[in-house]
Structure 1
Amino acid sequence: MSAPSSSCDLVVIGSGLGGLSCAGLAALHGLDVVVLEAHDRAGGAAHGFERRGFQFESGPSLWSGLGRWPSSNPLAQVLRALGETVPVATYPDWGLLLPEGSLRIGVGPEPFIATVRELRGLAAAEEWSAFMTWLQPFSQAALALPLLALRPGLGMAAVLGVRRSARLARLAPQLAALGGAFGPMARRHLRDPFLLHWVDLLCFLISGLPMDQTSAAAMATLFADWFDPGACLEYPLGGSPAVVAALVRGLERHGGALHTSCPVAEIILEGGAARGVRLGDGQLIRARRGVVSNASPWDTLALLPPGSGHSRWRQQRAATPACASFLHLHMGLRGEGLQDLPVHHVWVGDWERGIGAERNMLVLSMPSLLDPSLAPQGQQVLHGYTPANEPWELWQNLEPGTEAYEQLKRERCAIFRQVLGGIIPDLEERVVIELHGTPRSHQRFLRVHQGSYGPALGADQGVFPSGSTPIEGLSLCGAGVFPGIGVPPVAVSGAMAAHGFVAIPQHRALLESLDLLRP
């Protein structure tokens, strides 16, 4: 790959889904964009890798709204704007291993209500139905605001236009209620313990935070999607790397460039404004318009020259709480007799410990059931992780490769086999390859502070940050604003960062081309 150009309009640091969404849209709008990725491959937390014929992924496991149009999924909207699509396989249900027992629940309103009726009785089923009915106007309000219309500053009304803005004004009470956390809304209408635990589970899966900190708008959108009568889950064929590849194709089609193995050492400030970066090898890349950082807030601060001002903002960002990290399992299995398993399982050990308690939740995925190309013939690939519940403090003083590190890894990752043994009793005889990842793995490969997947910014603390900074020409997106767990908000943050460098008429024209401004 050729060396990066010495100048461009916009430098994007990091090629996670947020950074690539930003870069692709900025290139679409005519900016000369260079994306710089420290790793040897694009994707950030959504990258993939191969071992012995098994295609493993480190990225998202649960997808929806990616393979159909129109779609409320902002990532699907970004891909369509870039002229890209990602083929998906659909499936109707997922497995749940809960304290109440082993369940297989279909996506959509009726399958879940039937499960609740069987598990908790008619009163609980009616309680859930009433909650869904009450929530529907809020879900419709959330869908009425096209998230790709968001931009820094006060220009969103001009992007939306008079008619769409008037419609949103009529929905102001519902939109105002969606500005906080979802927990109070759920507690106001739900009393059954299982239903409250279920909401907490869904919140943690999409945000890495419990329901009292998860965005009400995000959950209202999720319920509008997942509990629609025609709802289904999706898996992008080729996994997360296929989504990354589509974003890279879109970027390059519109004149942008991606450079891997190019770690940024410093953001260059001139006259107090971000005007480029210095790479680890010393090369300077000038940016006429500015710099967007897809790195975490703590890692972005480390790239700024010391003594460059804005001390209060720096202190606030440095004090941003971090999501806990992950344990990962990548396993290749002999696949005979596994075809009838659910593609996904979510395991919860004990509701009373709290949904975010360490090693209290696992997500397990066997995507080769949908996409056989991910594994050698007759075999299956399995991906498991503990979603944002592994404490960094256990690992921070251990050096990878030492006996103490390997011992802790064996102890902490034993939870995967404990749970899998209940799903695949002859697991031991099936294992072809087994790999484990720890917070130190994430710190190393993603070059991220404490192995975290991003800031733990609760919706109960106020409006989410926009990605704007007090430094002229410097914006944040992806892990700089949201935890990497939630794909839709990460894509929105990338689009928002891009539109901060684009005139309002261009921004509006994009939404019109996607038919997102229909009254």
Structure 2
Amino acid sequence: METDVIVIGSGIGGLSCAAIVARYGFDVVVCESYSTPGGAAHGFERNGFKFDSGPSLYSGLSYSPSPNPLRQVLDAIGEDLPCVNYDTWGCCLPEGDFDTTVGADQFCDVLARLRGDKAVAEWRELQRVIEPLAKAATAIPPTALRFDLGAVISLGQYLPAMLPHVGSTFKLTGAFSQIMDGVVTDPFVRNWLDLLCFLLSGLPASGTSAAEMAFMFADWYKPGVMLDYPLGGSGALVDALVRGLEKHGGKLMLNAHVEEILVAGRAQGVRLRGGEELHARQAVVSNASIWDTLKLLPQDSIPKSLQARQATPECDSFMHLHLGIDATHIRADLACHYIVVNDWERGVTAPQNVVLVSIPSVLDPSLAPPGKHVIHAYTPGSEPYSIWQGMDRKSEEYARQKQARAEVMWQALRRIIPDIDNRCEVTLVGTPLTHARYLRRHRGSYGSAIAAGQGLFPGATTPIPGLLCCGDSTFPGIGLPAVAASGAIAANTLAPLSQHLQLLRKLRE
């Protein structure tokens, strides 16, 4: 088979890239190793319960124009994504259990109750300091980026909007802790900001770029903001991207495991398991992580500058707990999301310290049978792979460790639903080995952990002609907006500048 562009992997980055490449008029084929598209964001079903495999917190998807690159991708390919809106989430912290909301003011009420007027004043001052940074962070959409000389024009049209914020731009490249220092001294507020940074990047404030947090403040802490949950779960999001891909003539191949990227002076195609070869006239785009991409390349074809990316620091892995439960007489005030922190002193990145809980059937009852709820609890990017490495997944040792390491998630759930143990009808426990097996993730990692000020993300291009990359190894952040942006940037880099500019005009309408 011969096509213009081959995309390896159908994660959100790969699908975003492929769908926009197809929209630009290229013939594109996506090769997905698994039987279901979506990568870390795919959905799956057990006994009538529909689970999200990974991401569970969304914003900026229910309106356009939106600063969220994922919404921009959907707009570019002409796909809608019906969402339900909400603004409240639960916190189970060392200070106690309470609900909070997104928006400009409500968190100040929480601070006043927990910490007093001084903490409120510091939070207000932080909002004031971040406001110009937020405007600078959102002045240029990531979808305007491309990695060739055409970027001078694609980015240049946003220069008038950027000029008033030039003074703030340089601050965006450093760590967010540099913005906090001198403004925030209250221990709880500093811990809270560390937590938000960790959820964005997998790193505390000292390693998270100010740009990421400025973007988050612009999105979450503004008047009238709402969070979104796509009706049908993350699977509905994946379906929308696949529809857009196929609508524009692209093709998705499932159970198509790429064993090698063919290189002869340039990336020329891929070889699948079983020996079938697909050839690319224009480019091969890898949505696999940088570590997994390097494994696909012939060793004698890898330039030293690309081989050096093997040393890219990585986030730790996950523990997952997927439950289908009986919701009879369950508390009526359940929130869709909860954040559980056991001990601030240990730090938010410490293993077994932070647990996220998602109960999306509170918002979308179609995800569970009548009278039931679906639950996803996980330890986000803090489970060390080393304690699992080499284990036999069929061994008693593995079963015992699964049970022991899942206990922190059960404890978190008991704070929310005390009788959770007696309600379970479906119980699935995932480990870093599960992550590595089903998501084809190097060491089960959720992405790169390049600390702000200690390195730059390499972007879409590589030293091998015809080989591009997208996904969490190429753009700051480990969430859906970041990988969607990376896919769009790779697609733009392949497209003629005139088509890219036309797309940007459409997104501004």
When normalised by structure 1's length, the TM-score is 0.96
Match of 1:381 among 366, 374, 377: 374
C-alpha distance in structure 2 between counterparts of 1:398 and 1:482, whole Å: 32
C-alpha distance in structure 1 between counterparts of 2:215 and 2:149, whole Å: 24
C-alpha distance in structure 2 between counterparts of 1:382 and 1:127, whole Å: 36
C-alpha distance in structure 1 between counterparts of 2:450 and 2:491, whole Å: 22
Shift of 1:276: 0.5
Query: Structure 1 469/325 Cα, relative in aligned 2: closer, same or farther at 3 Å?
Result: same
Match of 1:81 among 64, 67, 76: 76
Contact 1:67 1:88 in 2 (8 A): yes
SS in 1 for 2:318: coil
Contact 1:139 1:221 in 2 (8 A): yes
- Cα displacement string for residues 213-234 of structure 1 (whole angstroms, at most 9, x for unaligned residues): 1121111011011011111111
The one-letter code of the counterpart of 1:318 is Q
Match of 2:346 among 349, 353, 366: 353
- Cα displacement string for residues 386-445 of structure 1 (whole angstroms, at most 9, x for unaligned residues): 000000000002110100111100000011111111211111221111110000001110
Match of 1:221 among 169, 192, 215: 215
SS in 2 for 1:500: helix
C-alpha distance in structure 2 between counterparts of 1:177 and 1:153, whole Å: 25
For 2:239, the equivalent position in structure 1 comes to: 245
Match of 2:44 among 43, 46, 49: 49
For 2:184, the equivalent position in structure 1 comes to: 190
- Cα displacement string for residues 59-93 of structure 1 (whole angstroms, at most 9, x for unaligned residues): 21111000111210000000011110111111121
- Cα displacement string for residues 199-251 of structure 1 (whole angstroms, at most 9, x for unaligned residues): 11111111111111112111101101101111111111111111000000000
C-alpha distance in structure 1 between counterparts of 2:293 and 2:395, whole Å: 30
Match of 2:313 among 321, 343, 356: 321
The one-letter code of the counterpart of 1:24 is A
For 1:136, the equivalent position in structure 2 comes to: 131
Contact 1:179 1:463 in 2 (8 A): no
Match of 1:167 among 138, 161, 165: 161
Match of 2:332 among 334, 339, 354: 339
Superposition pairs of residues 391-402 of structure 1, within 5 angstroms: 391-402=384-395
Shift of 1:454: 1.6
The one-letter code of the counterpart of 1:206 is L
Contact 1:328 1:383 in 2 (8 A): yes
C-alpha distance in structure 2 between counterparts of 1:510 and 1:187, whole Å: 40
Contact 2:457 2:476 in 1 (8 A): no
1:414 matches 2:387: no
For 1:23, the equivalent position in structure 2 comes to: 18
For 1:489, the equivalent position in structure 2 comes to: 482
C-alpha distance in structure 2 between counterparts of 1:430 and 1:445, whole Å: 28
The one-letter code of the counterpart of 1:174 is S
The one-letter code of the counterpart of 1:157 is V
Match of 1:123 among 118, 132, 139: 118
C-alpha distance in structure 2 between counterparts of 1:366 and 1:209, whole Å: 25
C-alpha distance in structure 2 between counterparts of 1:179 and 1:209, whole Å: 15
Match of 1:108 among 99, 103, 106: 103
Contact 2:72 2:507 in 1 (8 A): yes
C-alpha distance in structure 2 between counterparts of 1:220 and 1:309, whole Å: 37
Shift of 1:484: 7.6
For 1:461, the equivalent position in structure 2 comes to: 454
Contact 2:93 2:341 in 1 (8 A): yes
Contact 1:339 1:369 in 2 (8 A): no
Query: Structure 1 32/237 Cα, relative in aligned 2: closer, same or farther at 3 Å?
Result: same
C-alpha distance in structure 2 between counterparts of 1:114 and 1:154, whole Å: 49
Identity among equivalent positions (%) equals 50
Q: Give the 4+ runs in structure 1 shifted more than 6 A.
A: none
The one-letter code of the counterpart of 2:279 is R
Query: Structure 1 484/192 Cα, relative in aligned 2: closer, same or farther at 3 Å?
Result: closer
**Count of residue correspondences:** 508
C-alpha distance in structure 1 between counterparts of 2:19 and 2:426, whole Å: 36
C-alpha distance in structure 2 between counterparts of 1:92 and 1:166, whole Å: 34
Shift of 1:311: 2.4
Contact 2:145 2:155 in 1 (8 A): no
C-alpha distance in structure 2 between counterparts of 1:82 and 1:339, whole Å: 39
Query: Structure 1 38/82 Cα, relative in aligned 2: closer, same or farther at 3 Å?
Result: same
C-alpha distance in structure 2 between counterparts of 1:179 and 1:296, whole Å: 23
The one-letter code of the counterpart of 2:88 is D
1:498 matches 2:487: no
The one-letter code of the counterpart of 2:369 is P
When normalised by structure 2's length, the TM-score is 0.98
C-alpha distance in structure 2 between counterparts of 1:98 and 1:333, whole Å: 24
C-alpha distance in structure 1 between counterparts of 2:230 and 2:302, whole Å: 44
For 1:258, the equivalent position in structure 2 comes to: 252
For 2:151, the equivalent position in structure 1 comes to: 156
C-alpha distance in structure 1 between counterparts of 2:377 and 2:287, whole Å: 25
Shift of 1:309: 4.0
Shift of 1:154: 3.6
C-alpha distance in structure 1 between counterparts of 2:76 and 2:306, whole Å: 34
Contact 1:320 1:457 in 2 (8 A): yes
C-alpha distance in structure 1 between counterparts of 2:145 and 2:282, whole Å: 20
Shift of 1:482: 4.8
C-alpha distance in structure 2 between counterparts of 1:504 and 1:188, whole Å: 44
Shift of 1:479: 3.4
Shift of 1:153: 3.0
Contact 1:324 1:392 in 2 (8 A): yes
Contact 2:457 2:473 in 1 (8 A): no
The one-letter code of the counterpart of 1:31 is F
Query: Structure 1 483/444 Cα, relative in aligned 2: closer, same or farther at 3 Å?
Result: farther
Contact 1:60 1:485 in 2 (8 A): no
SS in 2 for 1:498: helix
C-alpha distance in structure 2 between counterparts of 1:420 and 1:291, whole Å: 44
For 1:362, the equivalent position in structure 2 comes to: 355
C-alpha distance in structure 2 between counterparts of 1:231 and 1:47, whole Å: 27
For 2:230, the equivalent position in structure 1 comes to: 236
The one-letter code of the counterpart of 2:444 is G
Contact 1:475 1:497 in 2 (8 A): yes
For 1:145, the equivalent position in structure 2 comes to: 140
Superposition pairs of residues 497-516 of structure 1, within 5 angstroms: 497-515=490-508
Contact 1:323 1:483 in 2 (8 A): no
For 1:280, the equivalent position in structure 2 comes to: 273
Contact 2:315 2:449 in 1 (8 A): yes
SS in 2 for 1:327: strand
For 1:3, the equivalent position in structure 2 comes to: none
C-alpha distance in structure 1 between counterparts of 2:352 and 2:474, whole Å: 25
1:424 matches 2:428: no
Query: Structure 1 55/253 Cα, relative in aligned 2: closer, same or farther at 3 Å?
Result: same
For 1:61, the equivalent position in structure 2 comes to: 56
C-alpha distance in structure 2 between counterparts of 1:482 and 1:405, whole Å: 34
Query: Structure 1 309/417 Cα, relative in aligned 2: closer, same or farther at 3 Å?
Result: closer
1:474 matches 2:474: no
